[in-house]
Structure 1
Amino acid sequence: MARHIFRCPLRWADMDAFGHVNNVAFLRYLEEARIDFMFRLAPGEGSASFTGGSVVARHEIDYLRPLVHRHEPVVIETWVTDIKTASMTVRYEVKDEDALYARASTIVVPYNLAKKQPRRITPEEKEFLEKFRDDEGIVAA
């Protein structure tokens, strides 16, 4: 099982009045990691996977400790735990070498932008996702 690694920079604007990353910024971090995984990495593997679009059906985040501003990026590990006919569950860990800041999951639905409707996962997309599948990697917060 492989995990996709994304190094996400922290921005000064992500901080709240208490000096740590605002909860909304975490959703942007997860989006950046997911886009890097689905839209950059997949074509890099010779696939046109997910280039037609996708939508988020659900987000779930467990915040484990505050993340304060610093100049070093935070690491977001991304993998897949569930692949269905027309959706997938993407899991994340937001961390660095010292701490785990959040665990999260997103249900993503492939979407046909031209027809304005959900679509099924193609066999090619499923083959790509299987490389990053790990049902054993789920750890309770």
Structure 2
Amino acid sequence: MEHLLEDYPVITEIPVAWGDMDALQHVNNVVYFRYFETARIDYFDKIQVMEKAKGSGIGPVISHTQCFYKAPVTYPDTLLVGSRVSDVQEDRFTMEYAIYSKSMNRVTTTGTATGVMFNFVTNSKASIPEELKTLIQKIESGEIE
């Protein structure tokens, strides 16, 4: 497994719940976006994005997300969701995800999300603070675990 997620600095373990499945007995397509969200919040927690947003009023909003399904996941299973930031621009960043199934021993799903920085005080787009750019670089290089 290590080699399949080695390029992802944050790994989130998520057990598949019985209620995640749909009538066709596999995880419903919309549930994967919750898995991505959980992994994204784990990533954000490591660099304290939400705490910094509370103080500054500037934080990320998701403007676009997508998912690629490679194999159906069923209950019971435990998933490892790798997350990383693959691109940082002035006001936005791209996150990538890979979902590894322990029972199938393979990556079953991949996805991306574009986060745009938003100033919740002025209701307008904002630049990514330099401190946040530095923290993203540090987590991606392995300086922050």
For the aligned pair, the TM-score class normalised by the smaller chain equals 0.7 to 0.9
Tell me whether 1:92 sits opposite 2:109 in the alignment.
no
SS state at 1:23 partner: coil
Tell me whether 1:111 sits opposite 2:118 in the alignment.
yes
Q: TM-score, normalised by structure 2?
A: 0.80
Please point out which of 128, 132, 137 is paired with 1:125: 132
Whether contact under 8 Å (1:49, 1:124) holds in the other structure is no
Please point out which of 12, 15, 28 is paired with 2:18: 12
- State how far apart, in whole Å, the 2-side matches of 1:96 and 1:34 are: 18
Q: CA deviation at 1:53?
A: 2.8
**What is the correspondence of 1:1-141 to structure 2 with a 5 Å cutoff?**
3-38=9-44, 40-43=45-48, 48-51=51-54, 52-70=58-76, 72-97=77-102, 98-133=105-140
Structure 1, unaligned stretches of length 5 or more?
135-141
RMSD: 2.2
Whether contact under 8 Å (1:42, 1:49) holds in the other structure is no
Identical residues among aligned pairs (%): 25
- State how far apart, in whole Å, the 1-side matches of 2:87 and 2:69 are: 22
- Over 3 Å counting, the alpha-carbon distance change for 1:100 and 1:50 in structure 2 is farther
Whether contact under 8 Å (2:95, 2:114) holds in the other structure is yes
Stretches of 4+ moved more than 3 A in 1?
Answer: 47-52
SS state at 1:92 partner: strand
Q: TM-score, normalised by structure 1?
A: 0.82
Q: Report how many aligned residue pairs link the two structures.
A: 130
Q: CA deviation at 1:49?
A: 4.5
